[in-house]
Amino acid sequence: MILFGILAASGAGAAAGVAGYVAGGYTGSGVTTVDKFAFSDDSRTTLVTGLSSARHGLAGMSNSGIAGYAAGGTDGSATDTVDKFAFPSDSRTTLGTGLSSARPSLAGMSNSGVAGYAAGGLSNGTTVDKFAFPSDSRTTLGTGLSSARGALAGMSNSGVAGYAAGGSNFSTVDKFAFPSDSRTTLGTGLSGGNYSPSGFSNSGVAGYVAGGYDGGVISRVDKFAFPSDSRTTLGAGLSSARRDSAGMSNSGVAGYAAGGDDGSNFSTVDKFAFPSDSRTTLGTGLSSARDYSAGFQNEAL
């Protein structure tokens, strides 16, 4: 379970984006809640129109300046539903064509302006579905993940590649080159096997895999520098050890890890400033303590 962050367009020195979103989640049952954090001041509002159904364990994808997507998940039964939130109105529609199979605990990756990807998940763990922007037509990649796994993290270097990291206690990081979608597997994976981490990205600069579970909940944050994909681990990890948080990204400015659990749910939102990777915790967290949410963002001004 868990889901993750996705990316948009620019790189180092990018202007601040518009907003990040944390969609759905679990508070004892699934919720329809979508919280929105304005990147200008990190203030939080909650969308009047949430998800089309209460669910958790879903993935987020982003087409910055156009729309964000919340894909799959479960609330007792797995679903193939993909909800689309148009920017800047945040009005919601549901795609006529959902995922190729109903599944929770998948990861999202984005090549903003081109396509979004929903990777892995429970029951159909190697599948990678691709949604072409702006038509939202779906195809399924001939080459999926290198191994079947769920509860993994997504991160993106928009225009270059998307990454599917960890899951099912693997340290594996698969890389999908844009636009060919050819897959390689990084020689250096995560710093340990990981289940239920979250991902966020500073497109053009680095991707991050935060928290998770490796026999116990962890606070560590692994950083993969673009384009070399070399890995370091941040000195300051999450403010508390947890898994099942949601990642969102404001490339050139900051990445966020929202919510999660360590047996009890969190409303905490940690913010990592780019490029220093210094961590602060927002004074205003999620509108409710929850885990298994999806993150997406609008990075276009």
Q: Give the C-alpha separation, 94 to 152, whole Å.
A: 24
Question: How many domains is the chain partitioned into structurally?
Answer: 1
Model pLDDT, residue 237: 97
Res 301: pLDDT: 64
The answer to whether residue 192 sits within a structural domain is yes
85 falls within a domain: yes
Domain that holds residue 135: 19-298
Would 12 be classed as within a structural domain? no
- What distance in Å separates the CA atoms of residue 176 and residue 278, rounded to the nearest whole number? 29
6: in domain? no
Task: Report the 10 Å Cβ neighbour count for 247.
Answer: 37
pLDDT at 13: 41
pLDDT of residue 32: 98
Let me know if residue 8 belongs to a domain: no
What is the CATH number for 26?
2.120.10.80
Contacts of residue 196, Cβ cutoff 8 Å, sequence gap at least 6: 1, 2, 105, 151, 167, 211, 212, 213, 243, 244
pLDDT string in tens for the chain (301-residue length): 333 333 333 343 445 799 999 999 999 999 999 999 999 999 999 999 999 999 999 999 999 999 999 999 999 899 999 999 999 999 999 999 999 999 999 999 999 999 999 999 998 789 999 999 999 999 999 999 999 999 999 999 999 999 999 999 999 999 999 999 999 999 999 999 999 999 999 999 999 999 999 999 999 999 999 999 999 999 999 999 999 999 999 999 999 999 999 999 999 999 999 999 999 999 999 999 999 999 999 998 6
Is 31 within a domain?
yes
Residue-level pLDDT at 15 = 56
The model's pTM: 0.94
- How far is it, in rounded angstroms, from Cα 20 to Cα 240? 21
Let me know if residue 14 belongs to a domain: no
Closest CA to 259 of 247, 251, 267: 267
Residue 64 lies in a domain: yes
